[in-house]
A and B are shown apart, each in its own frame.
Chain A
Amino acid sequence: MSNSQPDLTPAVAARKRRLSIFAKAGEDALTPLFERFAQTHPIADYTVLRAAEVGTSMVRGRAGGSGAPFNLGEMSVTRMSVRLPSGAAGHGYVQGRSKEAALMAALLDAMAEDGFAEGVDDLVVAPLEDAAKTARAARAAKAAATKVEFFTMVRGEG
């Protein structure tokens, strides 16, 4: 979205893309994809850098949509950080209160940082993005069907 920092390196942009889709996926969608990934990419014993923690982010808006920022309200967020034996660290931030989802996000992030980025992207990120795109398109199609087509009535003068 437009708030993104410009000029991210390709590695950072890829990591941002992954973490963003994990954050929005939800535990139910993430679990089967995570399990399928873990079958072909065994995850070594990890250490917990930061235990799963439920908290919030203060969501801000802008006055008039473009002016001064203001505090709209909070959103629940759960985070967790792990480290693989190789030293690769993973950070999971997910919307909502699922500690399992935060753990899966952190482990997938760590695996991607540990040389398995392609597997993470193909087996987890791509299907999640496809699902999000399909869901968004379905709502957009229903919205489009409610678009008003104006026509002008024949007027009396003339």
Chain B
Amino acid sequence: MYVAVKGGERAIDNAHAWLAEERRGDTDIAEMSIAQIREQLALAVDRVMAEGSLYDPDLAALAIKQARGDMIEAVFLIRAYRTTLPRFGASAPIDTGAMACDRRISATFKDLPGGQVLGPTFDYTHRLLDFALAAEGLEPSEAPEAAADMADLPHVTDFLAQEDLIQREPEGSDTPRDLTREPLDFPTDRPLRLQALSRGDEGFVLSMAYSTQRGYGRNHPFVGELRTGKVAVEMDIPELGFAIEIGEAVVTECETVNQFTGSKTEPPQFTRGYGLTFGHCERKAISMALVDRAMRWAELGEDNVGAPAQDEEFVLYHADNVQASGFLEHIKLPHYVDFQSELELIRRLRADAMAGQHQEAAE
């Protein structure tokens, strides 16, 4: 129960003034610019764009600065800003086959056309703290360059599809359901689940994916391909009567190839899980692909073994960190009247119980 009460304005104003001061920190230390955050905390920016569901690196950097590095608060700020913007339209589906790849690896084929391109990765680093970074002013040496083939890199799953060894992706509606425009309704379909997973909390989606690996709805994934790079975004412009590229975005895509021995309805063939996120969010894209595959059990005629990751209501209702923290954190706000009634109740029950005991003792 909520009751409007007055008071506390001055305390709130002063708290926010202090917040601003604490956000700035020691003024003897140089202030961070938005450009510094965008360039040097790029993966934090990418995560805020992916979960904030708005591709705008400068805005995401501003949100991180305002939130003092609290990522979920930053995502919240981006989501709130997004709701103030009109939507001009929807893009044509991006063509990830035409991606300018910074990175493209496959765990299933060693020698694939285009090769294994590692890109700027943490993989194979020793995870030892690099104290050289603590000394400011050291510029890294230029990364080596090599002759590049500018041709598009084919998708690994296309090779398997040519032999019909992997399930082909079914067509879908040109206007997929959109959970930012309509309430989440069950049962869902795969496009709606992919939207929810892509903006879902990285930690939550990671844990759900991990649970499938540990046996709660195991689906035997191989990373068929993981790629990160820039794609063009094209949209129809009504006043022109044709489509133009309205921008470009860095995205990460993961395609899993999953072992599948067939079911009541499907022949033995590999099946797919799919992950796609804004920015360079590799852990998230892989996690998304595993959870996507787990939730496809009904469509593939698999058994529901009761694993959490197979339960679309459980996953989709709990994947959104803005919704979750909104509901969680509201319990710290004043509930004085609620609690007063609870207090009254406990006092009365306790008094009744004590009176009963006295009566028993007297008899």
Contact = CB atoms under 8 A, between A and B. Distances in A.
A61 B115 contact: no
A154 interface: no
B76 interface: no
A6 B273 CA distance: 31
Contacts of A144: 117, 145-149
B117 to A, nearest CB: 5
Contact of A65 (B82, B89, B118, B253): B253
A145 B54 contact: no
A47 interface: no
B311 interface: no
Contacts of A158: none
Contacts of B155: 65-66
Interface residues of A, number: 60
A74 B169 contact: no
B119 interface: yes
A74 B147 contact: no
Is the contact region of chain B dominated by helix, strand, or loop, or is it mixed?
Answer: mixed
Contacts of B266: none
A12 to B, nearest CB: 6
B150 A16 contact: no
Contacts of B149: 144
A65 B274 contact: yes
Interface stretch (B132-140, B243-251, B302-310): B243-251
Interface in A37-76: 53-76
Contacts of B91: 57-60, 75
B86 interface: yes
Given A54-B85, A70-B195, A146-B119, A95 B93 contact: no
12 contacts: A59-B94, A65-B155, A71-B191, A72-B277, A91-B240, A93-B88, A93-B244, A95-B233, A95-B248, A97-B58, A147-B117, A148-B118
